[in-house]
Each structure stands twice: as structure tokens, then as C-alpha cells.
Amino acid sequence: MITRTRTPFQRTRRTRRSAALRGLVRETRVDPAQLVYPLFVTHGLDVRAPIASMPGQARLSSDQLAREAEELRALGVRAVLLFGIPVAKDAAGSEGYAADGIVPQAIRALKDADPELAVIVDVCLCEYTDHGHCGLLDARGDVDNDASLELLARAAVTYAEAGADVIAPSDMMDGRVGALRDALDDAGHETLPIMAYSAKYASAFYGPFREAADSAPRMGAGDRRGYQMDPANAREALREVAADVAEQADIVMVKPALAYLDVIREVRAATALPLAAYNVSGEYAMVKAAAAQGWLDERAIVLETLTAIRRAGADIVITYHAKEAARWLTER
């Protein structure tokens, strides 16, 4: 009898032989309940104004939100992120914290339509200021960090009192999580969570959003690199996250997502708090543009992208693909 000696190797293909087997051993899953759908809300009636650089997205008036809530409920997407477009802008971004502003109106409309929908509200002044920056400008045209905190805190309380479920400061002012936490607690909203845009980078991927929200910087420093993070820095993200955790953030975020998967992974290792990642407008627009040319399979790319963000460590994915992805996940 001849004994044959073979070099051993792993037959890793054994568990890839069928869809059922692949499903059994799948390490990372995406569920519609993990997705957050951003909404842009504006004044008026019966408004559904398409956003040219973000096919499939639109600016909506508050009366259109019941339809959105119904569709999201049917798809299993249980959270939205609100951005407001004011009727007028000024140097102090006053509609951003006005009790009768567009965002409080939208919060109430969504909660009337679906009380169980989680309404997350972005807190920032960039959509509301005539200079397009995320805070007040000082006499030199620089963003005044500490003076801005008071207005951001006023906005947070205004949204809380309108019925928001989560407050999400995106301004990147130092100390804003603590300032919002103190203001919310003082106003009797101790149980309202804060989702901090902790590691928000000064990214070129935000271009389509700035069209959608009419929020491009127009005065002062001319861009947001003085307060948003340098895309070259990863360790700094951990400092930002640690600061927000110390100030009692309940959820932390990395934004954008795809070019920062390494940062998501580092943040995941550094904190046990829930971690969100924002699959931003530029990432969305690139997929839509390539799909429109027939250069890629949109469904496959979107689901692979969302899986990658989850695999990197995100618990929550904010994405303009949420509706389509939820449909595709159900079909799959």
C-alpha cells in the first residue's frame, strides 16, 4: 500500500457552496432597523423639490412628511435625521432655534404621523446663517466657539420641546456636547439622548449636501477647516470621541463613512458607546451617477457599502440609500 503525503490546505470554500450555507456563517448583517434616513424640510405646502445632485432626494414641506413616515414604517426604517431650510437667513441663524421654525414644525408633523418613529434632529447653524458657518462670527470673521454654544443649546432645547427623540450636534464647536447636556437637563430633558458628530471631517464629500441645505460657507474663513477635522488625522478622532464621551454623549459618530472606515474601526475599539457612521451625500451621489451610466450594479454596490460600514464597527448607518436598501434587504 502506498501512502501519499500531501501538503495540507484549508478548504474554506466548503461553507460557500450555497446561499443557505453562506447565510449561516455570515459575520456582518445589515438590517433596516439600523438605518437612519435623512430628510430636508422646507417651508410651504405641497413642496417636493428634487435635489439635482442627489437623485431620488428632495426638499419637502412639512405636509409631505406623513407620506414619508408611512413609507419608512412599511420598510422597517425606524429613524430619520432632520435638516431644516429656513425662510430667511441672518448673521445669528435665528430660525435655527425659533420655536416656530421649520424644524419644530417638521418634528411635530412626523410625531403626529408616527409617534414611534425616532426623530433625530441635527443641531447646527450653517443652514440658518447668512454667512454659512456653523456658529457666530466674531469681528475678525472667525467662528466664535464659546458665543456659539449658547445658541446651539437654545436650538437643542427648542427641538426637545417640539418632541425630538435624539439631539445630534454637528457643528464641531469645542465643548458643545456638555453645553447641550447642561441646557437639556436644566430644561427638564434629562432623558433625551445626544448623538454627537464626534469625528466630523472637513471633507470634499459634502458638496451635494451643501446644495440640498443651501449651507456652503460664504463669508469669514471661507471654509470649515478651522473647526472640522483634518482628513489626514486619525488619532485626533479618538481625542474628539473621548471629549464627547466625557461630556455625556450617548452615541458618537464618524462622518463621512467610506473614506474613513479605518477611523470607524479605531473608534469602535476605543468606546463601548453606540457608534454611528454617516454615508454622506457625495458618497451617495457618486453611486447614483455611476449607476445612471450603467457602470455598476447599484443594488450590489449599495448593499456592499452598507455591509462594509457595519463591518468596520458602526452600529447605526445614516444613509440616503435607506429606503432602497431596506427594500433590497427584504427581497434578499
- Known catalytic membership, residue 89: no
User: Does residue 323 have an active-site annotation?
Assistant: no
* Closest C-alpha to 277, from 309, 249, 248: 309
Task: Compute CA distances 60 → 76, 98, 207, 314, whole Å.
Answer: 21, 19, 20, 28
Nearest to 153 by CA among 237, 217, 227, 247: 247
**The one catalytic residue among 89, 255, 288, 323:** 255
Secondary structure of the chain as H, E, C letters: CCCCCCCCCCCHHHHHCCHHHHHHHCCCCCCHHHEEEEEEEECCCCCEEECCCCCCCEEEEHHHHHHHHHHHHHHCCCEEEEEEECCCCECCCHHHHCCCCHHHHHHHHHHHHCCCCEEEEEECCCCCECCCCCCCECCCCCECHHHHHHHHHHHHHHHHHHCCCEEEECCCCCCHHHHHHHHHHHCCCCCCCEEEEEEEECCHHHHHHHHHHCCCCCCCCCCCCCCCECCCCCHHHHHHHHHHHHCCCCEEEEECCHHHHHHHHHHHHHCCCCEEEEECHHHHHHHHHHHHCCCCCHHHHHHHHHHHHHHHCCCEEEECCHHHHHHHHHHC
Residue among 89, 111, 200, 288 flagged as catalytic: 200
Catalytic residues: 200, 255
